[in-house]
Structure 1
Amino acid sequence: MDTAEIRRRFVAHFEHSSTVGAHQPVASASLLLDDPNLLFVNAGMVPFKPYFLGQETPPYPRAVSIQKCVRTPDIEDVGKTTRHGTFFEMCGNFSFGDYFKHGAIELAWELVTKPVADGGFGLEESRLYPSVYADDPEALALWRQVTGLPEDRILRLGRKENYWSMGVPGPGGPCSEILYDRGPEHGPAFEARDLGPDMPTALEDRLLEIWNLVFMQEELSAVRSKEDFDIAGPLPSQNIDTGMGLERVAFLLQGVDNMYEIDVMKPVIARAEELTGRRYGADRGDDVRFRVVADHVRSSMMLIGDGVTPGNDGRGYVLRRLLRRAVRSMRLLGYEDPALPELMPVSREKMGETYADLRTDWERISRVAFAEEDAFRKTLQAGTQIFDLAAGEVRESGGTTLSGERAFALHDTYGFPIDLTLEMASEAGLGVDEDGFRGLMAEQRERAKADARAKRGQHADTGAYRAVLDEHGPTQWLAYETLETESRPLALLRGGAPVERLASGEVGELVLDRTPFYAESGGQAADAGTIVFPGGSLEVLDVQRPVRGLVVHQVRVVDGELAPGSSDAATLHAQVDPEWRTGARQAHSGTHVVHAALREVLGPSALQSGSYNRPGYLRLDFGWLSGLTPEQVRDIERVSNEALRADLPVGWQYMTLSEARDWGALALFGETYDDQQVRVVEIGGPWSRELCGGTHVDHASQIGTVVVTGESSVGSGNRRIEAFTGVEGFAYLARERDVVQQLTGLLKTQQDDLVPRVGDLVERLRAAEKELERLRLGQLLAAGADLAAGATRVGPVHVVAHRAAGAGGADVRQLALDVRGRLPAGEPGVVVVIGDAEGKVSVVAATNDEARARGLSANALVRAVGPLVGGKGGGKDDVAQGGGSDASRIDEALALVATEVGRVAAT
């Protein structure tokens, strides 16, 4: 049974359930969601977290989904087990205060055991072992009742295995797993009644977990670890969250040994076999590499598809690691040509059967992936040179082992894989301090975990807002319809807690029954304006939606005292600043116009990855691997303004998400959209169609103008365009006009001649600077002969120790080499020059052949005098250099030179 059929059967089972009622099918969310605790969606329940946390009201009582997930805490272990991968698909059914344990157990057992001919998975009951939380006798009784299994077929496990929480205070509860016995070839014999509370490691491959049923029934008040927490009491409503691993069920139903051999992954391995000439199954080490390739190629493609680009931190760093590990694994398999162009299209053909965007967006996805491989191949070349230098230093020092610090620097700073370091060290006859390397890696992971733990506390406490919503219902939001309303105050808060009043000058949060204010979202800044009440007024500082359906105004009391509970404040007048809204509409519509122009100029793969707009200003981030040329920037601006001149109509309409996608509407990466209803804004019909909830002009000409002010990088593979619109755009042009007029006046030339005139001045200035540099250097080197002639003798060695006031590093080096060349031929000579310029000290030492023959080393001299000037340095025996920051001890450092020469020359 292929994975597509498994998906179909799972959704159909719940969508048409007569046991507890039909479930609402919910499309997979993006792998990127706006959650401060997660880099990626890592479980099927993540998109439903607001419902489980009570932050939002679920639009349906039951749901079913096949959710894309990525988990990356143990990337290095991928391929070493049969069940763990980075990208996977989680099949889940969810109940929001509807059915509970009995329904979840019954539905799961029915699907896994129902014959294939009847729409089930047809797994043998004799191989299935349910597990329960040891302190959940209710679940144990229900499993026996639903399945008819004897008690000794049901495992009782502890908190570590069978209690679920989000890792922070909030909902939690016991869970039950369905385990499949893969047979004695995968682990030792066992008796279910003898197991617990922890699953033995030896049985993890034999007893394969295929489905986890979470029974959310308790409120956790403190979560110190997975097994250490306090239970505050029962939840107001009981929920169900289940997760069935699609890949795990697939490899059972397809009769293969592991997830890497299922129908959507094995073709990549087959292609890798063709490219490398090696065979999967022939060598244990090669098998791990083949699996890494299959997993990481697919995972990388899915991440890029959802908008991730390679980078040096966060999501981008994870993607970079995945891509580079795939390339590295192919190299270790003996294939050194570009691999991703050969492998990723194979994965696209299989995954594209379910995720059509992989095919329609292939140009962008492939461009990002292949460029990263090209960059990594260059890194490998540079890293090899760095490794050779490190290996040479180890040999020169008489050592046989590359330190853990050097191996870690190669890995962390230069992106050089440890496996490759080990391979090359072995070829060079060297070892590597792997323990030291692993220790540094462990420290790095612990820092990352500490950062993640710190972030876990960032869940916004929405309890007070939720209470207002429960008591009064959703805000009547009228931002599309009007700029002013008569409104009733519903609640007043400060610091997340209700208050009775706000005095003049104080800042708080006000909830109204109806509002004309736009709440910040979709990149558009919140409206500004005022709220007037009898005896006073408020300045609106910000407008947000802390929970779905509720609009909250951050306000400052300008005058009077606001007390919503008093009869005097029964009605307030809310007024949006009309100039602010006009500018905001121009900027937001301008963002759509620039995005459409960008795609027209660069091609459809140039997709927006983020935006921000406020009155008169917009910025648009988009995935692109190289900087735009001035001509491309001008073309984007020209196409944008042509759309304004054509006065393209602007309109919007509501439809389902699937209808919007069929219509060609663009959705931003990482945004969450309502499955039932989305708003599509179009400018000029199909020229620009995007899902958007912002405020817009009625015709493109109302934007006024689009003036692109900059294009820059905001990270690897991401660019940013900034522009002004409306009055602010015209003001920017006026400022540029004034600058041009001032320059033409100063240079006494016409505007058309301004650029060549300035260019001529710049060239003349450069020529003058070069001549000054030549004269200055000539003056500096003119002293070389005098310094050589005035060399002191320390024993048989001619020594020059000179302070070059005002000279920088390059000048100091050139002077030292010049003086060395003027010392008497055939006699040992040492030169040390120390310069100080702009607060920096530069040290250069140079020795001739005869001095080196007597054991004198430029490297040793720099290392000796460097600490005196507050620095360090090094180099070779003939020339070495260093730097420092303490010019007060230069004379002392120069005096030390003679002492060091005398000490070495005398031995």
Structure 2
Amino acid sequence: MQTHEIRERFIQHFVSAGHTEVPSAPLILDDPTLLFVNAGMVPFKPYFLGQQNPPFANGTATSIQKCVRTLDIEEVGITTRHNTFFQMAGNFSFGQYFKQGAIEHAWGLLTGSVESGGYGLDPERLWVTVYLDDDEAANIWRDVIGIPEQRIQRLGMADNYWSMGIPGPCGPCSEIYYDRGPAYGVEGGPIADDTRYMEIWNLVFMENERGEGTGKDNFEILGPLPKKNIDTGLGIERVACILQGVDNVYETDLLRPVIDAAISLTGATYGANHADDVRFRVIADHSRTGMMLMLDGVTPGNEGRGYILRRLLRRIIRSARLLGANGATMEVFMNTIMDTMTPSYPEIADARERIIRTAVAEERAFLRTLESGTHLFTQVAQEAKAAGQSTLAGEKAFTLHDTYGFPIDLTLEMASEQGLEVDREGFEALMAEQRARAKADNKAKKTGGADVSVYRQFVDEHPTHFTGYTQLADEAQVLGLVAGGQLLHTAEEGDEVEVILDTTPMYAEGGGQLGDRGTITVGDTLLTVEDVQKVGKKLWIHRATVTRGAIEVGQQAIATVDPTWRHQARQAHSATHLIHGALREILGPTAVQAGSMNKPGYLRFDFNYTDPLTPEQLARIEALTNEVVDADYQVNTFETSLAEAKAMGAMALFGENYGDVVRVVEIAGDFSRELCGGTHVGHASQIGPVTLLGESSVGSGVRRIEAYSGLDSMGYLSNQRHLAAHTATLLKTPTDELPDRVAQLSEKLRAAEKQLAQLRKQQLQQQAGAFVDTAITVGDVAVVTELLDGVSGGDLRQIATDIKARFGSRAAVIALGADENGKAPFIVACTPAAVDKDIKAGDLVKEMSRFVDGRGGGKADMAQGSGTRAAGFNDAFAAVRTAVAAH
């Protein structure tokens, strides 16, 4: 029974029993306690806690939830039943049926006949465990279901009392096991051997709430939940393992194709030795987990979810290399796993290109890292062993990380394989030093690369007095001039210099707002200020060019802000606050700021949120923002204590440290109240119209909105209006009818494309027949080698399949290539008779790859690849003919 059918039977069983089918939630939810959804009940947690009323008819639900658990990544493949990604099928009751109902539902599905929609498992091979003192559950299994007493075993809290590992719902559970037979271990039930007796279903009788604690049995039970609930979890992969008659979860229909692809790409043999088997399983498991994470919007990174994904992808790449792969493999693995998973998750089809692009880019980067880092690791490991050492020095691990980009977890893993430990304390100490240097370097960048010590005396003795909240021009004394990290006494026309003033109206970059632009004048001398930065939060550095005359330390000057720049910058900054307020109003309080940048007329705002915003949500955010603008609320700014500001609910700026006294900017009362040192308009109407340009993902769990404000917003809207009018003129359609007209044209275009595709198919079929007739014979094998004009990579597979079929029982090899806009896709197909002669398409594709600067792989009967040098196809085809002749 295929996995997709196992899923469908589960859902239908419970829907027929009155449960509401609930689609799987994304792997990332707005739950600060979880990196990823790790159990089927996670999306239902508010209902179990009584925080919300379940919106399901009859108070019951069923789902097959995507789950990821990554705490024991290193165990993947070593044990034969552990997956980082798994599908948890569950049925849930919120105050409705309890223990007997859950047990009867589960038993009915597991032992029901295949004809009636069940799984058809032999009831004599099912064992159960219950919590130590749960006599009620034990009695139901014995007296109602009829399981003999000897197949009901009792286990303690660590095994049969369920919680999420964090404060939340919990309760005793009963687990159902399948006896796989004597070949898998000793008799005696799950207590004796939990490999032979495979757990397939956990029935949680959720009736309590747990508090803080560690481990599976070291926590406090706070008390009963408002209602007794049922949460069950059936492991789809484990049931598939049993129903498909395979030894482990890696050999089911969903993952075995990835192992087969790895065999083809590496030349290694699955089942030959344990070490290689572990690598094959890592590739299969991590390919699926990585793909599913990317499907839900995670991108490789150096922190949090992004780092987990990066680690998974790197383990795939390294495992493939250890098995013998010489080139890129990720595209093949990702395509294979997406093929197996798409029937259950159709949304994969729309994300396929994005997922492959992300995975391949990560592979390219890491292959470069592996090449240099692995060589160095081998060297230092051999040196440590030669010296009789059992520990790799922290300094060596740091060099691998800092110089070669080799992640510490990979160093730890490789060291373990060599029988070595790693000095983690030494490594962490060097990492702390590096972080301190990075902070200093960042400050240096903000001050033109100068030694920060140059400014120390000014920071300590002459902090800048900022007057820009109330003035656009002010008198100032020139306290210092800096260029190239050196103090100067004078600067002349054409010099680029950093000017230190005792007083300035110019805003220094901070809080997402760019530094002001303006001028500094001393008599006839003029300096154009291009940027203003801070040193030590107290000193303003004016980056300027002397455009006329000369300037000296000690002179009196006039510092003037460019009024247009400041006005438009204030508009954008105030608009940023309003958009933040609108986001929280519409998306909820979890949509908090994660960074921003605003400059005259433009802003971008990053915020913590997992899902893309819908067009309707964006429209509401824009409308609400402009409603506040139109209401013309006064913008209030005032200083208060940090404690008082927090008590008022003022939002703190992302990544900012505050003193005891803070500045609060308030627009429309509770709608927007933030700690902010930036410049703002006096009234909301001065912002002008705000136009959202759209939103996008900028990292794991972080979204970005971009917008125009003021005149830039009006200019953008005017341009859009003109574009719409021009388009309406071209289409001879009133502007308000454009959507319908475009839809009509799109439909006609699709119809035309469909007709062209049909004609194309007919043309390809005609070509296939011609190629069979002109095939050359190499030995006793017919060989077709053709470079096709005007054929896409997708068409190659169709025509190769057609040609292959036309050869029937003859031994034949078909090698096709195409020149497709600078790319060089190619494919090799072998008939069964050719495969019987040990001619493998996967081997021939690798041979072709060398001549077209490409990569590829596949199975014995069909393999494909892509290169970048179509000029090499003649040599590639010659190599195919030579290889065939060798057989």
TM-score, structure 1 normalization: 0.54
For the Cα contact (< 8 Å) 1:405–1:436, is it kept in 2? no
Partners of 1:749 and 1:738 lie apart in 2 by 14
1:469 maps to 2:459: yes
Root mean square deviation, CA, Å:
4.3
For the Cα contact (< 8 Å) 1:665–1:690, is it kept in 2? yes
SS at match of 2:471: coil
1:624 maps to 2:609: yes
Aligned residue in 2 for 1:401: 275
Cα-to-partner distance string for 1:521-576 (whole Å, 9 max, x where unaligned): 111111111111023111111112202322221121110011124xxx3x211111
Deviation at 1:873, TM superposition (A): 2.8
1:552 maps to 2:541: yes
2:515 to 523, 526, 551: 526
1:598 maps to 2:481: no
Partners of 2:712 and 2:250 lie apart in 1 by 47
Change (3 A) 1:386 1:534: farther
Aligned residue in 2 for 1:766: 750
Cα-to-partner distance string for 1:198-231 (whole Å, 9 max, x where unaligned): xxxxxxxxxxxxxxxxxxxxxxxxxxxxxxxxxx
The amino acid across from 1:789 in the alignment is D
- How is 1:168-179 mapped onto 2 (pairs within 5 angstroms)? none
2:667 to 662, 683, 698: 683
Aligned residue in 1 for 2:475: 486
Change (3 A) 1:723 1:826: closer
For the Cα contact (< 8 Å) 2:593–2:608, is it kept in 1? yes
Aligned residue in 2 for 1:876: 859
Deviation at 1:798, TM superposition (A): 3.1
For the Cα contact (< 8 Å) 1:831–1:846, is it kept in 2? yes
Partners of 2:312 and 2:533 lie apart in 1 by 49
- How is 1:13-412 mapped onto 2 (pairs within 5 angstroms)? 274=157, 276-277=159-160, 346-347=211-212, 389-390=258-259, 393=263, 394-396=268-270, 398-402=272-276
Deviation at 1:766, TM superposition (A): 2.6
1:498 maps to 2:481: no
The amino acid across from 2:666 in the alignment is E
Deviation at 1:628, TM superposition (A): 0.4
Aligned residue in 1 for 2:798: 814
Cα-to-partner distance string for 1:859-880 (whole Å, 9 max, x where unaligned): 3333334323333433222222
Change (3 A) 1:342 1:792: farther
The amino acid across from 2:473 in the alignment is E
For the Cα contact (< 8 Å) 2:815–2:826, is it kept in 1? yes
Partners of 1:637 and 1:540 lie apart in 2 by 34
1:583 maps to 2:536: no
Change (3 A) 1:871 1:444: farther
Aligned residue in 1 for 2:813: 830
1:852 to 830, 835, 838: 835
Aligned residue in 2 for 1:711: 695
Change (3 A) 1:348 1:641: farther
Partners of 2:736 and 2:249 lie apart in 1 by 48
Cα-to-partner distance string for 1:840-872 (whole Å, 9 max, x where unaligned): 333322222223233332233333343233334
Aligned residue in 2 for 1:650: 635
Partners of 2:467 and 2:199 lie apart in 1 by 64
1:840 to 802, 823, 833: 823
Change (3 A) 1:483 1:381: farther
SS at match of 1:839: coil
Change (3 A) 1:273 1:468: farther
SS at match of 2:654: coil
Deviation at 1:834, TM superposition (A): 2.7
Aligned residue in 1 for 2:654: 669
Cα-to-partner distance string for 1:667-725 (whole Å, 9 max, x where unaligned): 12321011x21111111112211111111112111111111111111111111111111
For the Cα contact (< 8 Å) 1:650–1:682, is it kept in 2? yes
Deviation at 1:274, TM superposition (A): 4.4
Percent sequence identity over aligned pairs: 38
For the Cα contact (< 8 Å) 2:464–2:538, is it kept in 1? yes
Aligned residue in 1 for 2:704: 720
Partners of 2:627 and 2:814 lie apart in 1 by 68
For the Cα contact (< 8 Å) 2:496–2:543, is it kept in 1? yes
Aligned residue in 1 for 2:725: 741
Aligned residue in 2 for 1:894: 877
Deviation at 1:893, TM superposition (A): 3.2
Aligned residue in 2 for 1:694: 678
Cα-to-partner distance string for 1:251-281 (whole Å, 9 max, x where unaligned): xxxxxxxxxxxxxxxxxxxxx98474389xx
2:737 to 740, 753, 767: 753
For the Cα contact (< 8 Å) 1:542–1:555, is it kept in 2? yes
Deviation at 1:617, TM superposition (A): 1.4
Deviation at 1:400, TM superposition (A): 4.1
Partners of 1:766 and 1:752 lie apart in 2 by 23
Partners of 1:383 and 1:524 lie apart in 2 by 55
The amino acid across from 2:828 in the alignment is A
Deviation at 1:418, TM superposition (A): 10
Deviation at 1:347, TM superposition (A): 4.4
For the Cα contact (< 8 Å) 1:627–1:712, is it kept in 2? yes
The amino acid across from 1:861 in the alignment is L
Partners of 2:813 and 2:629 lie apart in 1 by 73
Partners of 1:598 and 1:633 lie apart in 2 by 9
The amino acid across from 2:572 in the alignment is A
For the Cα contact (< 8 Å) 1:530–1:539, is it kept in 2? yes
Partners of 1:623 and 1:276 lie apart in 2 by 36
Structure 1, gaps ≥5 residues long: 1-73, 78-271, 280-289, 299-332, 350-373, 375-379, 423-429
Deviation at 1:839, TM superposition (A): 2.7
The amino acid across from 2:641 in the alignment is T
Deviation at 1:336, TM superposition (A): 9.2
Partners of 1:874 and 1:827 lie apart in 2 by 24
Change (3 A) 1:514 1:901: closer
For the Cα contact (< 8 Å) 1:407–1:421, is it kept in 2? no
1:781 maps to 2:664: no
The amino acid across from 1:646 in the alignment is A
The amino acid across from 2:275 in the alignment is T
Cα-to-partner distance string for 1:44-65 (whole Å, 9 max, x where unaligned): xxxxxxxxxxxxxxxxxxxxxx
Structure 2, gaps ≥5 residues long: 1-70, 75-154, 168-197, 215-235, 237-247, 291-307, 316-322, 324-372, 382-391, 406-430, 445-450
SS at match of 2:566: helix
Deviation at 1:420, TM superposition (A): 15
SS at match of 1:544: strand
Partners of 2:374 and 2:251 lie apart in 1 by 20
Partners of 1:511 and 1:418 lie apart in 2 by 47
Change (3 A) 1:722 1:884: closer
Deviation at 1:891, TM superposition (A): 3.0
Cα-to-partner distance string for 1:564-614 (whole Å, 9 max, x where unaligned): 24xxx3x21111112222112211111111111111111122111111111
Partners of 2:616 and 2:376 lie apart in 1 by 49
Partners of 2:73 and 2:736 lie apart in 1 by 62
1:448 to 401, 425, 449: 401
Deviation at 1:419, TM superposition (A): 12
Change (3 A) 1:781 1:446: farther
Partners of 2:207 and 2:823 lie apart in 1 by 52
1:572 maps to 2:557: yes
For the Cα contact (< 8 Å) 1:276–1:334, is it kept in 2? no
Deviation at 1:444, TM superposition (A): 8.2
